[in-house]
Amino acid sequence: PVVYVKAGHLFDATSDNLRDNVVLTVEGERITKIVPAAEVSIPAGAKVVDLSQDWVLPGLIDCHVHLESRADEYNPINEVRMTPFKGAFNGVVNAKATLMAGFTSVRDVGSQPFFAVDLRNAINSGLIPGPRVVASGPPISITGGHGDMNGFAPAVSNWMYPAEKDFQIADGPDEVRRVVREQVKYGVDVIKILATGGVLSAGDKPGAEQFTYEELKVAADEAHRAGRKIAAHAHGTQGIKDAVRAGIDSIEHGSLIDDEGIQLMKEHGTYLDADIYNDDYILQEAPKFGLPQEMVDKEKSVGRLQRENFAKAVKAGVKITFGTDAGVYPHGDNAKQFHYMVKFGMTPAGAIHAATSSAADLIDRSKDVGTLEAGKYADLIAVTSNPLDKIETLEHVSFVMKGGKVYKDEVGAEKQ
């Protein structure tokens, strides 16, 4: 059966323009045609989704989430209380919140081994509702780095999390190569590596390099050999450049990037995936549930600079995607980042491309998602006012369809 989706205003993300009064025909999971409304005669009794008063866009894509994490527990001490079961319950709830916010695809860039892989499979098999998940394994870290358990007695940290040693911690090119291969073996879609220190980790510095250029190069080559993309967490100036030169596909955070780093990203076509909403939540909310002062101080050292440097990168023409680090702040609030992307230099259409067409390119799913065209998945959302006039409109998505199935319909669009 064909579903006729009437769109009053369509932003299909193949350009910056809106098209008025079109009809998308959906058969099964995919779009089969998009035509001017005047040219279709909808057969009597056909299934219609009437969004003729609304603005219709491709389902949004967040390229940086952690679906197992809860914002109100995002405190490293809680990692020692985290069981895989707890993470899984969180993931079920977070996946649904993400989908209901209009994000029909996400890239999960770090969780316990191999949570995101299982969550992806559970969603794909129809067991639970959620976005399409492009899954990484645990983020690969040096010993003592952003992904290690720091600040505990040796006996405690060795005993606590044995899998960490096998699947996450790597020192030297050979171990990096082995860990990438292990992760591929257990079904990840993407590799996440921690090139520099971080904010929400004990005992390291966001600006400091962690993996060497040689290690990053091995990771990138090995990921690419396996047909996977690779993302690097990198706040620090030098670590960003090493990661870009090593052939990493996206720089996460990018906080302390300098002009040379910006030029390198342009030359290599590397995406910047900067979580520029995060700072608000970390400074305003996280201290209320006990985020250690060390981390609040680290946030203050990067947060504002990250936004200014993001603006420079946008101005210079670096390729930008939408990645928020949801899990540090509550899942479902992802779209709050659009406001900052526009405030710091993007056009509304540009910010939407970052979360649709460009994001699809980064996650290597352009043939399926990211634009609304015949042949793509019927992943689409609707809002009741024009997001090109006011980007914050996307914080209130009233309709969500994923793969031709309606998950949210606050406007009564679905007619029988």
Q: Is 111 in the site for ligand ARG (CB under 6 A)?
A: no
Q: Which residue is catalytic, options 6, 96, 192, 408?
A: 192
Interaction pattern, residues 250-289, with ligand ARG; x per rule: CB under 6 A: ---x-x-------------------x--xx--x-------
Close Cβ partners of 158 (under 8 Å, ≥ 6 residues apart)? none
Q: What HEC string does 131-156 produce?
A: CEEEEECCCEECCCCCCCCCCCCHHH
* CB closer to ligand ARG out of 173 and 303: 303
Are the CB atoms for 249 and 231 separated by under 8 Å? Answer: yes
Q: Is 328 in the site for ligand ARG (CB under 6 A)?
A: yes
Among 68, 189, 273, 325, binds ligand ARG (CB under 6 A): 325
Whether residue 300 lies in the annotated active site = no
Interaction pattern, residues 57-76, with ligand ARG; x per rule: CB under 6 A: --------------------
* CB closer to ligand ARG out of 12 and 164: 164
Q: Is 323 in the site for ligand ARG (CB under 6 A)?
A: no
DSSP state of 294: H
Sign, CA torsion 124/100/394/74? negative
Distance CA 191, CA 227 (A): 10
Among 131, 303, 348, 403, binds ligand ARG (CB under 6 A): 303
Q: What HEC string does 357-368 produce?
A: HHHHHHCCCCCC
Q: Is 200 in the site for ligand ARG (CB under 6 A)?
A: yes
Among 306, 309, 321, 371, binds ligand ARG (CB under 6 A): 306
State which amino acid sits at residue 191.
I
DSSP string of 203-230, one letter each residue: T--TTSB-S-HHHHHHHHHHHHHTT-EE
Q: Is 108 in the site for ligand ARG (CB under 6 A)?
A: no
And the tokens for 270?
């590397």
Whether residue 361 lies in the annotated active site = no
Among 142, 180, 302, 383, binds ligand ARG (CB under 6 A): 302
Residue with tokens 């720091």: 150
Q: Which one of 39-47, 200-208, 354-362, 384-392 is the stretch in contact with ligand ARG (CB under 6 A)?
A: 200-208
Distance CA 371, CA 378 (A): 10
Q: Which one of 33-41, 157-165, 192-200, 262-270 is the stretch in contact with ligand ARG (CB under 6 A)?
A: 192-200
Tell me the three state secondary structure of residue 401: strand
- Residues lying near ligand ARG in the complex (CB under 6 A): 198-201, 206, 253, 255, 275, 278-279, 282, 299, 302-303, 306, 325, 328
Which residues carry out catalysis?
192, 325
